[in-house]
Amino acid sequence: MSVEIITLVMFGGLLLFLIAGAPIAFVCGSMAVIMTMLVLGPNAFYLVVSRVWTEMTEFSLAAIPLFIFMANVLERSGVGERLFGAIHVWTGRIPGSLAVSTILATMVLAAMVGIIGAGEVLMGLIALPAMLNRGYNKYLALGCILAGGGLGQLIPPSVMLIVYGLVANVSIGKLFAGGLGAGLMLSALYIGYIVIRSTLQPELAPKAPPEERDIPLRDKLIALRGIIIPFSLVLLVLGSIFTGAATPTEAAGVGAAGALVSAAIHRQLNWQNLKDALLRSTRSTCMILWIFFAVSTFSSVFTLAGGGELVENTILDLPLGPWGILISIQVFYLIMGVPMDWLGILLITGPVVIPIVKDLGFDLIWFGVLFDVNMQIAYLSPPVGAALFYLKSVAPKEITMGDIFLAALPFCGLQFIGLILLMIFPEIVLYPAEVLVK
């Protein structure tokens, strides 16, 4: 069987079954086993088992369940409410202060949890009612929560960057530092947009009442107690990684322990909360790792059959030049991000695309952050972006999916601008990666 036919069968079958609604883990695992038998013969089945075993023993994978557990514990510890309140005390005089506070709070939450969904759910429960009751435009209120919540996918400790680091075999610490630079840039774009629109159209975000704007300095300093634990946890986790004191996996263990301490301080460490956190963490971890093993095996079989070399040579021979190929890859990811989740896209295309990017002379840390921002756009894009449904699950009944779709569009545009800026100015990613990581 020629490599061209193998490529057509594997990816044609993958697309067909995904459209039919079959789970990606089952599809990729089944396709890997079938093609191993047809192309390499029954004696090669040990390759499937060997590949899965190799992935299972990867030490860095242990960071994923630890960070997910950390996120689930913090979600129940009450830290989100205190964090939002503490930040709003200091932003009361800024136009669109509640929306700005939402972005800042989700930035800190992103640096504590490393997964998507937590920011949308927490701020949907805390910030959205506050903004709607204050008379904020519903599209602005919904949009800032959607965009801010997506930062959990980019700002470390991002699970996506951990998986990319494993696939690309690059420093996870440098990816974290680069993701931090990109996350701060996107946050600045969001805040700038909110402030400018709130200044030009003050009816979109009514000013805070005098009692929230004219707060004595002493009371503001007292309110900072609400950010002590979040910032301590962020410094503990990221600081240990950036200074080289701990690997990402070790830092994840420290973060999980810190989350338990935080819950205990806020008197939320009880058996029911712990049980819920463990169950949700187990479900999420099993889903991620099952997909990881199945899709990784699919990619390995495809590469062994010669498909990776075929795709690489075909792309490199295109008369587009390095930047033309890179832009084409970004467009491909933007399109693929609509029907598929980031994990499937990364594990299926990564083993093929990453060597191409390397051969073109581009930095793999920078490319990893570009991929992450691409998936953020998909995460926020109507009609199937996951963020839209996370927010809908906690939004008031009068908020429709149409409202959420419209609210997402301006912030999708800002993310696209951010992607272009990262491509034009790679230093936004590379400078923090070189300076912060020892």
DSSP assignment of 117-176: SHHHHHHHHHHHHHHHHTT--HHHHHHHHHHHHHGGGTSSS-HHHHHHHHHHT--HHHHH
Q: Is 341 helix (H, G, I), strand (E, B) or coil?
A: coil
Residue 408 has which token pair?
């997402």
Instruction: Summarize pLDDT for 281-321 with one digit per residue, the tens.
Output: 888 788 777 877 787 788 778 777 777 677 777 777 778 88
DSSP characters over 364-377: HHHHHHHHHHHHHH
What was the pLDDT predicted at 35?
83
CB 161 within 8 A of CB 242: no
Q: Is 18 helix (H, G, I), strand (E, B) or coil?
A: helix
Share in percent of the chain as helix, strand, coil (round to 5): 80, 0, 20
Nearest to 329 by CA among 399, 423, 201: 423
In angstroms, rounded to a whole number, what is the distance separating the alpha carbons of residues 11 and 182? Answer: 32
Which residues in the chain show pLDDT less than 70?
Answer: 1, 51, 55, 60, 75, 80, 113-118, 308, 339, 384, 438
What was the pLDDT predicted at 339?
66
Between the CA of residue 289 and those of 26, 62, 171, 191, 385, what are the distances in Å? 13, 10, 20, 35, 22
In angstroms, rounded to a whole number, what is the distance separating the alpha carbons of residues 99 and 91? Answer: 10
Q: Is 87 helix (H, G, I), strand (E, B) or coil?
A: helix
pTM of the model: 0.80
What was the pLDDT predicted at 364?
96
Residue 330 has which token pair?
């970004």
In angstroms, rounded to a whole number, what is the distance separating the alpha carbons of residues 76 and 81? Answer: 10
What was the pLDDT predicted at 114?
64
DSSP state of 37: I
What was the pLDDT predicted at 115?
66
In angstroms, rounded to a whole number, what is the distance separating the alpha carbons of residues 357 and 329? Answer: 9
Amino acid letter, residue 72: N
DSSP state of 20: T
In angstroms, rounded to a whole number, what is the distance separating the alpha carbons of residues 17 and 147? Answer: 31
CB 375 within 8 A of CB 367: no
In angstroms, rounded to a whole number, what is the distance separating the alpha carbons of residues 220 and 228? Answer: 13
List of residues 6+ apart from 297 with CB closer than 8 A? 28, 29, 32, 48, 51, 52
What was the pLDDT predicted at 347?
81
- 53: part of which helix (H) or strand (E)? helix 45-56
What was the pLDDT predicted at 170?
92
Burial classification of residue 42, based on how many CB atoms lie within 10 Å of its CB (0-12 exposed, 13-18 middle, 19 or more buried) = exposed
